[in-house]
Amino acid sequence: MPELTELTAVRLVEGYRKGEFSPVDATREALERAERVQPAVNAFVRLDADEALAQAGESADRWQRGEPAGLLDGVPVTVKDILLLRGHPTLRGSRTTDPHGRWAEDAPSVARLREHGAVFLGKTTTPEFGWKGVTDSPLSGVTRNPHDVSRTAGGSSGGSAAAVALGAGPLSLGTDGGGSVRIPAAFCGIFGLKPTYGRVPLYPSSAFGTLAHVGPMTRDAADAALMMDVISGPDARDWSALGPVAGSFVEALEGGVRGLRVAYSPSLGGQVAVRPAVAAAVRRAVERLAGLGAYVTEDDPDFTDPVDAFHTLWFSGAARVTQRFGPHQRELLDPGLREISGLGARLGALDYLAAVDVRMELGRRMGRFHETYDVLVTPTLPLTAFEAGAEVPAVPHPRLRSGGGALIGHRRWTGWTPFTYPFNMTQQPAATVPVGVDADGLPVGLQIVAARHRDDLVLRTAHALYEAGAAGTPVRPGGN
């Protein structure tokens, strides 16, 4: 029998169909892996072996009868502890959340996975209310990187990224309001997709509003496409959900990139200082795209850093999260979250609407950009994973150039994520693909962005890199 924790969801389903192994086998191995790596990486806030094995047993019976429930019947999955999972508390990384209650409802994406027979292993770690780009919280502590446990897994979907990278289930659901799927996926060496806003319904709605997307975190683009075929589509609880998908994301993987118009922006027009190892790995992958027949042009989208507008939107959301908290609850908060909540509470409606204006102009510029180019390729992040337990690197890495040309560092997580949050503001689909490692063995991510509603192009471009052997990192069995 193959090492089941090494297999993708596509391969697991194929094995179930052929009778090579059962969902019980795969679930048992995934649980054993999760329990073994948890002390080192802290990827989970909750594992439920009894429930997962019971679900796997029911799936095995369905496969034996030749009647699978859906596309992911028997595949082990995990869920970020921001999203509702029926029967389990959703604490959102916060000591302010009361764990007692009925917890009787699934989030839309979770409900679709359940309908298709997925096996739920448990919930993964998140910073408090998903507020920052690393994963640590007063409730569950620090989540560490599978490739070096002294480094961060990134965030805010860091537990999900670490779980997939370590083989504790090939699929996980994450959320992304400013990079929170792509950041940890890049740091941990897996694939992560932020779909077009509304393509995957979200309920309850995020306090961070229409910045927040739900997306798959997987071993490769083929698994993400399969997962998207399950979790996409409307849900009556999300008023902003998009209509039904035309066709299949899996089918859209075919065709390669020959003739695709690719804009390669290594530094957003010199605005971002990218570490040499990251820049080199991304450039090699871009050259591979050209070798596969894509028309690659080095060009930059026409915008300057929208971080001030993003902060207005993000800090306002943080203030909304904590609006009804009394003094005792505020004392329980992550100090950084408490600080930005205070800043957000001092913003007015006109400040917020001015940020919306910036957002709309950014969207217009990117819409025009994609009249010329099918996809934009950038580094996902300008650096690899830094020390665990910190919001920003201890030794600041120069990031953006100020108006006077001087390099400036960063104090908040947005200082080292300049490639990710702009595309939450525009609601575009964006994915990260692992394309190598630096001298310390830490993964490097390449970001692929397409026009709104063209998730298929993002997935097809990423899949071409995997098929060509230019993407992917091995599963880390021990979290060392």
Tens of pLDDT along the chain (480 residues)? 679 999 999 999 999 999 999 999 999 999 999 999 999 999 999 999 999 999 999 999 999 999 999 999 999 999 999 999 999 999 999 999 999 988 999 999 999 999 999 999 999 999 999 999 999 999 999 999 999 999 999 999 999 999 999 999 999 999 999 999 999 999 999 999 999 999 999 999 999 999 999 999 999 999 999 999 999 989 999 999 999 998 999 999 999 999 999 999 999 999 999 999 999 999 999 999 999 999 999 999 999 999 999 999 999 999 999 999 999 999 999 999 999 999 999 999 999 999 999 999 999 999 999 999 999 999 999 999 999 999 999 876 555 443 333 334 468 999 999 999 999 999 999 999 999 999 999 999 999 999 999 999 999 999 999 999 999 987 877 655
Torsion sign across C-alpha atoms 88, 90, 96, 101: negative
Cross-strand bridge partners of residue 263: 297, 376
Nearest partner of 210 among 182, 244, 239, judged by Cα: 239
Cα angle for residues 123, 431, 477 (degrees, 5° grid): 50
Number of Cβ within 10 Å of residue 364's Cβ equals: 12
**Helix, strand, coil % (nearest 5) of the chain?**
40, 15, 45
First to last CA, the chain: 25
| 167 contacts: CB under 8 Å, gap ≥ 6 | 5, 6, 30, 33, 475, 476, 477
Structure tokens at 233: 């589509």
C-alpha–C-alpha distance, residues 353 and 372, integer Å = 30
Q: Are 275 and 438 in contact (CB under 8 A)?
A: yes
Is 158 in contact with 184 (CB distance < 8 Å)?
Answer: yes
- Kindly report each contact of residues 406-410 with a partner whose C-beta sits within 8 Å and lies 24 or more positions away, as own/partner: 407/273
* Alpha-carbon span 162 to 140, nearest angstrom: 15
Of 145, 3, 12, 155, nearest to 77 by C-alpha is 12
Q: At what angle do helices 349-372 and 307-321 cross, to 10 degrees?
A: 130
Structure tokens at 114: 């359940």
The CB density around residue 65, as the number of other CB atoms within 10 Å, is 8
* pLDDT the model gives residue 400: 43
Residue 48 in tokens: 């439920």
Cα(89)–Cα(305) distance, rounded to whole angstroms? 38
Which residues are catalytic, by number?
80, 156, 180
Assigned token pair, 332: 């329980």
The SS3 of residue 171 is strand
Spacing of C-alpha 463 from chain mean position: 17
Class of the CATH-defined domain 4-308+345-467: alpha beta
With a CB cutoff of 8 Å and minimum separation 6, the contacts of 81 are: 45, 46, 90, 91, 92, 93, 123, 124, 125, 126, 159
Residues present in the chain in total: 480
Sign (positive/negative) of CA torsion 207, 212, 213, 219? negative
- The DSSP secondary-structure symbol of 199 reads S
Give the SS3 label for residue 191.
strand
Longest CA–CA separation in the chain, Å: 69
Q: Give residue 399's pLDDT.
A: 53
- Going by C-alpha positions, the residue among 108, 145, 105 that lies closest to residue 125 is 145
Cα within 13 Å of Cα(19), Cβ side: 4
Q: Which of 188, 263, 182, 210 is nearest to 457 (CA)?
A: 263
